């Protein structure tokens, strides 16, 4: 699959499609949450028990943690580590890099095994990759007349 | 690049506080966290060493309200200022939308500021960016200390192009919100067609 060029623009249809794919994955493995995280650490979509999680901080930390792993791989002469698994007593996180270098993180409890999580996540990956790749565009996203309203923020 | 979500009508922007070690980057975020009401901010995340120096980054999310029907959400990050943590600084600049360069006004930190500025330029170049591509503002911090360089000297050395500059005493909050407003405006103005 080709590397994406341009900017990620989250259209309504695109987000619905990503929600459907990540929601299906979350249901299949009864994950606590499935987060799709843009490479800068911002949330693209979040499915599952998101109201009980600080998803913004989680996304920043998972993204930072995964970026460190990639830098670590380079130091060891590896091209990249494509996955990261953090195992806890009651919560674990499986993170995988997408073709776009964005990341997909699955947060799950003891009811799912890492084998199942890996298998189902990798199975879903092709469709998620294709969907997110389609949302990259060379057109710069803009919001018209924004500057007139900016002062209202402060 | 800012992430615009047309489904949830949100604009997500990443602002990075850059600058030399012990310059006051974390203090800026701590003051913002303390001052803004809890419903517009998340919890502050600190990844610090046992001596409270930033090890990887600090993180704070802020919802600044709506413009044109879009909720604006800012993710504020600091970088670790210590020279040896350059690999971390580089990673945090990934996807940056705006930068606050926090300079330490003390004369003894003059060369550290210049080195940090050069380091920022070098690290942006790793992402194919130069400082003209990214909205950024300059904060001249620690104006309350003795033996500080004059504002003119610092501006001349760190800001030859005349970007918005703010004197600050971050631990007292002076200049903290002026700086944040300026960089937020600059980032959103960049998005405006």
Provide, as residue numbers in chain B, all residues whose Cβ is less than 8 Å from the Cβ of A20. none
C-beta atoms of B188 and A146 within 8 A? yes
pTM: 0.91
Please give the helix or strand (H or E) that residue A149 lies within, else none: helix A146-150
* Spatial separation of the C-alpha atoms in residues A139 and A7, rounded to whole Å: 7
- Structure tokens belonging to residue A92: 């674990």
Q: Which residues of A touch B61 (CB under 8 A)?
A: 56-57, 60
The answer to whether B65 faces chain A, any CB pair under 8 Å, is yes
Task: For residue A146, list chain B residues with Cβ-Cβ distance below 8 A.
Answer: 67-68, 188-189, 191-193
Is B59 in CB contact (< 8 Å) with chain A? yes
Inform me whether the pLDDT recorded for B56 exceeds 80: yes
Using a CB–CB cutoff of 8 Å, tell me whether A60 touches chain B: yes
Range from A51-55, A99-103, A145-149, B130-134 carrying the lowest mean pLDDT: A145-149
- Report CB contact under 8 Å: B191, A141: yes
Whether residue A7 is predicted with pLDDT greater than 80 in this model: the reply is: no
- Residues with Cβ within 8 Å of B123's Cβ and at least 6 positions away in sequence, in order, are B86, B89, B90, B93
Higher pLDDT, A7 or B12: B12
Dihedral in degrees, nearest 10, Cα atoms A143, A145, A150, A151: 180
- The reply to whether residue A7 touches residue B1, judged by beta carbons under 8 angstroms, is yes
**Gap from B106 CA to chain A (nearest CA, Å):** 31
Query: Where do the DSSP E strands lie in B119-184?
Result: 136-141, 165-167
The proportion of chain B whose per-residue pLDDT surpasses 90, expressed as a percent, equals 65
Instruction: Give the pLDDT band (50/70/90) at residue B70.
Output: confident
Beta bridge partners of B137: B100
Contacts of A8 in chain B (CB under 8 A): 1, 3
> Model confidence over A81-102: pLDDT tens digits?
899 999 999 999 999 999 998 9
* B1 chain-A contacts, CB cut-off 8 A: 7-8, 40, 141
Of the two residues B57 and B96, the one the predictor is more confident about is: B96
Question: Tell me: the pLDDT tens digits for B143-190?
Answer: 999 999 999 999 999 998 899 999 999 999 999 999 999 999 899 888
Query: Could you give the ipTM of this predicted complex?
Result: 0.83
State the Cα–Cα distance between residues B4 and A112, nearest whole angstrom: 34
Nearest to B100 by CA among B12, B162, B184, B36: B184
CA separation for the pair A79, B34 (Å, rounded): 42
Q: Give the tens place of pLDDT for each residue, A21-72.
A: 999 999 999 999 999 999 889 999 999 999 999 999 999 999 988 888 888 8
């Amino acid at each position: 699959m080709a590397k994406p060029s341009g900017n990620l623009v989250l259209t309504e249809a695109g987000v619905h499609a990503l929600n459907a794919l990540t929601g299906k994955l979350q249901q299949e493995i009864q994950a606590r949450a499935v987060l799709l995280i843009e490479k800068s650490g911002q949330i693209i979509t979040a499915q599952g028990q998101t109201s009980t999680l600080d998803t913004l901080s989680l996304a920043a930390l998972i993204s930072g943690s995964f970026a460190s792993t990639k830098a670590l791989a380079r130091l060891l002469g590896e091209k990249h580590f494509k996955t990261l698994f953090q195992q806890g007593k009651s919560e674990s996180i499986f993170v995988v890099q997408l073709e776009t270098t964005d990341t997909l993180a699955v947060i799950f409890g003891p009811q799912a095994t890492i084998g199942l999580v890996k298998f189902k996540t990798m199975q879903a990956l092709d469709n998620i990759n294709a969907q997110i790749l389609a949302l990259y565009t060379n057109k710069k996203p803009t919001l018209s007349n924004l500057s007139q309203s900016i002062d209202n923020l402060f | 690049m800012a992430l615009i979500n047309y489904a949830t009508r949100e604009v997500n922007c990443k602002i990075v506080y850059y600058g030399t070690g012990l310059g006051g980057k974390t203090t800026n975020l701590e003051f913002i966290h303390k001052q803004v009401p809890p419903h517009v901010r998340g919890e502050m995340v600190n990844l610090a060493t046992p001596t409270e120096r930033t090890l990887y980054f600090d993180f704070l999310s802020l919802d600044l309200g709506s413009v044109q029907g879009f909720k604006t959400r800012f993710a504020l990050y600091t970088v670790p200022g210590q020279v040896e943590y350059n690999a971390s600084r580089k990673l945090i600049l990934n996807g940056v939308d705006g930068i606050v360069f926090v300079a330490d006004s003390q004369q003894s930190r003059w060369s550290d500021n210049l080195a940090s500025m050069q380091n920022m330029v070098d690290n942006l170049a790793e992402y194919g960016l130069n400082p003209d591509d990214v909205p950024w503002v300059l904060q001249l911090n620690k104006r309350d200390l003795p033996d500080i360089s004059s504002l003119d000297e610092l501006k001349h050395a760190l800001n030859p192009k005349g970007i918005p500059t703010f004197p600050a005493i971050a631990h007292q909050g002076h200049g903290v919100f002026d700086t944040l407003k300026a960089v937020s405006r600059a980032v959103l103005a960049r998005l405006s067609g």
